[in-house]
Amino acid sequence: MAKKSTKNPVTAEDFRAKTADELGDQLSKLKKEQFNLRFQKANGQLENTGRVRSLRKEIARIETVMTEKRASASAKA
């Protein structure tokens, strides 16, 4: 049995349980946070540098799940 990582509790399975609208909302929130972190980094105010990387990965997970949902919806139609 695989052990769930405590480092990043958000997995693709968590995103697959959500609707397309919820994923879109979450994606826009994460992109806004990413934008703010870029500004903090440019101004030298960024404290948690690891958050940038984890944020990028979360965005990629959401986009992957959204692509999967679109592909399965077009396959059914």
Tokens of residue 55, six digits: 């944020």
If you compute the radius of gyration of the chain from its CA atoms, what whole number of angstroms results?
Answer: 15
Each domain of the chain, given as residue ranges in start order, spans 30-36+50-77
Residue 38's SS3 state is helix
The pTM of this model reads 0.84
pLDDT for the residue numbered 57: 96
Tokens of residue 9, six digits: 């509790």
The pLDDT confidence band at residue 8, using thresholds 50, 70 and 90, is low
Question: Once rounded to an integer, what is the mean pLDDT over residues 43-53?
Answer: 95
CB 27 within 8 A of CB 15: no
DSSP 17-59: TS-HHHHHHHHHHHHHHHHHHHHHHHHT----THHHHHHHHHH
